[in-house]
Amino acid sequence: MGKVVVVTSGKGGVGKTTSTAALGAAVARTGKKVALVDFDVGLRNLDLIMGAERRVVFDLVNVIQGTAKLSQALIRDKRVETLFLLPASQTRDKDALTEEGVGEVIDKLRSVFDYVFCDSPAGIERGAQLAMRFADEAVIVTNPEVSSVRDSDRIIGLLDARTVKAERGEQIAKHVLVTRYDAARAARGEMLSIDDVLEILSTPLLGIIPESQDVLRASNLGSPVTLSDPTNSAARAYIEAAKRLEGEELPVVVPFERKGFLDRLFGRRAA
Amino acid sequence: MNLLDLFKRRGSAPVARERLQVLLAYERRSRSQPDLVSILREEIMAVIARHVQIDQDYLQVSMERGETMSTLDIDIQIPNKSARPLAMSA
């Protein structure tokens, strides 16, 4: 039985889709069978980030409504043969998803794949709740910024209340993935530090993805950053995060920026 | 801001952290139980409205949520002409 991981955040634009693609590809590279499911019905983008936008024929809504088989809708990645994508529908709205339908699709995926990553839409409405509904684990993507941290806290509350696992009285495993972390700004006390974010959310850390031009470059190319150039700092951080997700005990190293000349001269430091 | 302030200026992150801590402490409480301050506001308003007509223009409600204590201010100006039981005007 595979593991179902929801990638969620509440807030939009923090990097859910990028992180779903990067983590999923990193796990699949190790030979595990991985399915990425886009739940953002009406505003799909995982296909674009994965570079599969021209290969979409059927989607999640077709499978739920029985107009396509799951095997027909799954798109195999051209780079990693154990990596598959189940796109969202672009023309329908979120009401096209039913809880029973989503549950059946997730059950089938779980029986075939080692990992099922559910890319949640932003918000806390129906789409986001269905994406998390059947999850065993959650990756909460958070930027070190007040509105993102607040929304993450809200999502953590929903994960503990509205998932099937939580309703059974079990704990859903939650991990915070801090993205767009700028070590220089954090060192100057201009950005919430990793400790601040973890203390406020009191949820374990999966990884820290540094702000990086390589992430934008990867989406321009339609390739998860962990496949396009696995050696850059963002890709390495995602690969390590993926290993932690698989249970490996790897210490998280907070990206460090040497202080500038002026900072040292005047002893400016983070509080 | 003088030159010294510029060099001594601390980052804004500690302010962000404190604001979040206060806000989330409140939001987490209100998830599990209804917001007491809001209930009080509704009910106090309802009681007053039973006796006097409240003109929204003469009504100020403000709340201040603190870490250890919250305050609710309800400031209602009751013009003398309407300070009579509603039953009589009906």
Strands B59-65 and B70-76: antiparallel
CA A168 centroid distance within chain: 24
Q: Which of A150, A138, A141, A194 is nearest to A14 (CA)?
A: A141
Residue of A150, A189, A200 lying closest to B11 (CB–CB)? A189
Provide the whole-model pTM: 0.83
pLDDT in tens, B47-60: 888 887 777 777 77
- What distance in Å separates residue B9's CA from the closest CA in chain A? 8
pLDDT in tens, A243-270: 999 999 999 989 886 655 655 555 544 4
Buried b (16+ CB within 10 A) or exposed e, A63-75: bbeeebebeebbb
Determine which of B5, B12, B32, B65 to mutate to test the interface with A (most A C-beta atoms within 10 Å). B12
* A190 contact residues in B (CB cutoff 8 A): 11-13
- What distance in Å separates residue B13's CA from the closest CA in chain A? 5
Q: What is the mean pLDDT of chain B?
A: 74
What is the average pLDDT across A54-82?
Answer: 94
Can you tell me which residue has the tokens 């396009």? A228
pLDDT at site B9: 57
Q: What is the largest CA-CA distance in chain B?
A: 69
Residue A123: DSSP 8-state = S
Residue A266 burial (CB count, 10 A): 12
A93 vs A208, residue with greater confidence = A208
A196 close to B21: Cβ distance less than 8 angstroms? no
Residue of B8, B16, B27 lying closest to A192 (CB–CB)? B16
Angle between helices A194-201 and A146-162 (to 10 degrees): 30
A77 close to A87: Cβ distance less than 8 angstroms? no
DSSP strand E in chain A: where?
3-8, 34-38, 75-76, 83-86, 115-119, 137-142, 173-181, 205-210
A9 close to A155: Cβ distance less than 8 angstroms? yes
pLDDT at site A269: 45
Determine, for residues A190 and B11 on separate chains, whether the beta-carbon distance falls below 8 Å: yes
For the record, the structure tokens of A22 come out as: 């990067």
Which contiguous run of DSSP H or E holds residue A225?
helix A225-228
pLDDT at site B87: 52
At B25 the three-state DSSP class reads: helix
Please determine, for residue B4, whether its predicted confidence score (pLDDT) is greater than 80: no
What is the average pLDDT across A98-113?
Answer: 97
The residue length of chain B stands at: 90
pLDDT at site B28: 83
A108 close to A70: Cβ distance less than 8 angstroms? yes
